[in-house]
Amino acid sequence: MAPNKTKKGPATATQDGEEEEFCAVLFADAFDDKAFFPLNFSHPRCLLSLANTPLIEYTLNWLSLLPLSRIYICCNSPQVEAYLTNSSWLSRTSPLSVQIIKTSTVNASVGDYMRDLDQRQLIKSDFLAVYGDLVTNIQPERFETALAKHRARRSKNKNVAMTMLLSSVSVAQMDRMAHCRPFWVTDLETQRILHYDIIIPCKTASLRLPKSAVAEVDTERKSCLLDIGVDICSPEVPARYSDNFDWQDARQNFLREVLRDYDTNRLEIYHEEIKGFATRATTLRAYEAIAKDTLMRWATPFAPDANLLDQTYSLHGPTAVYKEQGVMLARKCNVGTRCAIGKDSSIGEGASVKNCFIERRCVIEKDVEIDGAIVLDDVTIGHGTVMGRAIVGSKAMIGKDCKIDDNVVIAHGAVVKSNTTLQKGTRMAQDGTITMLSPENHEFAFGRPAEFVRPTRKKQSKSKKSGQDQQKGCDKSAGDFHSEASFSIFDSMQKKESADTIQLELTALKLANGADDAQTQNAIASAFSRRVIAIVENGSLTSRQTDINSLFSDYQRLISGCVSLDKAQEQVDMLLAFQRCFVNQTDKAFVLVCNALVRRDLADADGVEAWWNDKQSCSSEGMIHVREQARPMVDFLLAEDSDEEEDRKDD
């Protein structure tokens, strides 16, 4: 919700006596999408909500408090663009001038946008760089103080490139927000940054500091300064990106290279420690921490009852319970401390909820226990289910008597069958595919799923233990490959990248992880299945088969690279891989996939018959259900092949 008062940017006089305006550049694309797997398949990160408010609204509302003249929002995502177009920020009554910047680069980075801004010559004075997942309540007065210090340095030294705003936090707070800690070496007197590095707890054994970081000046070394992604930049910064086309990331490329080459370029970067709540939702771990902090009002005024988008949240009592109008609570349910419950949600008899976000139109049935979860819109949770610190995407359905452990992530629209147990670290995609974080990463630590779920093995004897230990590294690498390759292929297909480009990336991943042909087939089938499910859910009945045929036509090379018509077993393996992906789907999408495979000569009658007769195709109730959906097609295909064989005999 845009504020009512217009604020004019702070003006500074140039050498010609003209006034410079102060603008902001907001990066709304998620440049490390894998951090939010699987929630980001249908929702860009900045549109994930807290109290029914997308993250980008918190960022824009904070920016509206600052003395800015214009905001450039850099995004290539159609969903983000559509949201902004329909929001008050781009309406005629908006007090701020907001402009969307799109670049021709398909998978644009910060560096691509900076180079685009430089080419368009939109930046002519100091500007503020922020990200669309920032939640902060930094007071405008404190920001203006930091800005004044930056301009004072610039007036004395034109080599000042940037001033970073950093938030001083405790070790416990740092661990809640991020899986790694930034390490800073700064000049104690001037606040200039001399060195920047990353520390991963329990993994980083030592750091090598350059001589410049331990020179004659008094230095200070800190690892509890949180990088909130708020930078006051000089107008020369975009040009620096243009001079270095390989710079993509603001930290790993720009910051590191400027500090490393100080003796050559003489560019200086400073920092200001700033008070106030400030952090970015860069990982699911940080997203969860921000949600709980807003409930506890650490980000005031951005608490649930701020009602930024005209919600109706109100605070009830001293126990941090927020409810919207229309909430339906059974007489014997228990709503504990630190809860936010959205409009038209209902909580049944005997249910208990605490420390959680439950957004709009959710149905919590009787005897459900929820402690610490984030439940987005339109979720149904069956009676008797017990849920810990999980994140549940919108429109997900969870059956009765399920057990959802801590740090489980369930995608938008996913279906969890009754009596299912999802163990700690599980991530369930919309198509039902299960991946797991490795044990050391269970606290939402890293940006991508790490280990593919395999059938539980029985205890092995001591004589086999050493062989099992040796196998652990291979299993972990295989799980990494499946998750990363599947995500990469799916993401590239969504962005309509060429099959040649995807094949190159897949080959590189395969070599890096030592993956075999079976693992490659599984990753390809998983990616295609997710794309097919999206087509089925969003397309019309008449266009589904056409769209799916086009998908397999455009990316036929990916499948033909690991399936040969001369080898029926390769076809069987691919069909089984696809079949497993559709076990939890109610739509008959598997039949459409089979039709597309046959049409594109990626499977033939012999391969389909061999798959039909393979015991693995009916190894479980779910597999049998999917198999039966394809029976008419199999009968037709085999009958047609039989007729052709008889015709050949007659000839």
Under the banding of pLDDT at 50, 70 and 90, the label for residue 32 is low
Closest CA to 569 of 518, 528, 529, 516: 518
The answer as to whether 354 is a domain residue is: yes
DSSP string, 382-403: -TT-EE-S-EE-TT-EE-TT-E
43 and 114 in a single domain? The answer is yes
Q: What does pTM read for this prediction?
A: 0.68
Q: Which two tokens stand for residue 326?
A: 């229309």
Under the banding of pLDDT at 50, 70 and 90, the label for residue 464 is very low
β-partners of residue 410 are 392, 428
What is the distance between the alpha carbons of residues 269 and 192, in angstroms, rounded to a whole number? 6
pLDDT at 456: 32
- Asked whether the predicted pLDDT for residue 445 surpasses 50, the reply is no
- Asked whether the predicted pLDDT for residue 237 surpasses 80, the reply is yes
User: How many structural domains comprise the chain?
Assistant: 3
239 and 90 in a single domain? The answer is yes
CB hemisphere CA count around 93 (13 angstroms)? 7
Please give the average per-residue pLDDT across 316-341, as a whole number: 91
- Asked whether the predicted pLDDT for residue 92 surpasses 90, the reply is no
Beta strand 363-364 with 380-381 is parallel
Could you list the residue range(s) of the whole structural domain that residue 136 is in?
Answer: 12-284
249 and 334 in a single domain? The answer is no
The answer as to whether 323 is a domain residue is: no
116 and 264 in a single domain? The answer is yes
The answer as to whether 316 is a domain residue is: no
Please give the average per-residue pLDDT across 83-101, as a whole number: 90
List b or e across 32-69, with b for residues whose CB sees 16 or more CB atoms inside 10 angstroms.
ebbbbbbbbbbbbbbbbbbbbbbbbbbbbbbbbbbebb
Looking at 402, 419, 452, the residue that finishes a domain is: 452
Looking at 417, 452, 487, the residue that finishes a domain is: 452
Dihedral of alpha carbons 293, 294, 296, 297, sign: positive
Q: Which two tokens stand for residue 102?
A: 């799109």
- Asked whether the predicted pLDDT for residue 570 surpasses 70, the reply is yes
pLDDT one-digit tens code per residue, 149-184: 999 999 999 999 999 999 887 666 666 655 677 888
405 and 448 in a single domain? The answer is yes
86 and 235 in a single domain? The answer is yes
CATH of the domain at 532: 1.25.40.180
CATH of the domain at 392: 2.160.10.10
pLDDT one-digit tens code per residue, 601-616: 888 888 899 999 999 9
Under the banding of pLDDT at 50, 70 and 90, the label for residue 101 is very high
264 and 350 in a single domain? The answer is no
CA distances from 605 to 170, 226, 489, 589, 641 (A): 64, 60, 28, 19, 7
- Asked whether the predicted pLDDT for residue 377 surpasses 90, the reply is yes
Instruction: Tell me which of 169 and 573 has the higher pLDDT.
Output: 573
The answer as to whether 586 is a domain residue is: yes
487 and 609 in a single domain? The answer is yes
Looking at 284, 316, 343, the residue that finishes a domain is: 284
425 and 484 in a single domain? The answer is no
86 and 176 in a single domain? The answer is yes
CATH of the domain at 201: 3.90.550.10
Instruction: Tell me which of 205 and 296 has the higher pLDDT.
Output: 296
pLDDT one-digit tens code per residue, 274-306: 988 999 998 888 898 899 889 888 888 889 999
59 and 203 in a single domain? The answer is yes
Please give the average per-residue pLDDT across 436-451, as a whole number: 43
The answer as to whether 458 is a domain residue is: no
The answer as to whether 464 is a domain residue is: no
With 0-12 / 13-18 / 19 or more C-beta atoms within 10 angstroms meaning exposed / middle / buried, residue 72 is buried
pLDDT one-digit tens code per residue, 515-551: 888 888 888 998 898 888 878 766 666 678 888 889 9
The answer as to whether 67 is a domain residue is: yes
Percentage of residues in the chain with pLDDT exceeding 70? 82
Instruction: Tell me which of 297 and 495 has the higher pLDDT.
Output: 297
26 and 118 in a single domain? The answer is yes
Q: Please answer whether residues 279 and 177 qualify as being in contact, where contact means their C-beta atoms are separated by less than 8 angstroms.
A: yes
What is the distance between the alpha carbons of residues 458 and 468, in angstroms, rounded to a whole number? 12
Task: Pick the range with the lowest mean pLDDT from 169-173, 270-274, 492-496.
Answer: 169-173
The answer as to whether 494 is a domain residue is: yes
Beta strand 12-13 with 19-20 is antiparallel
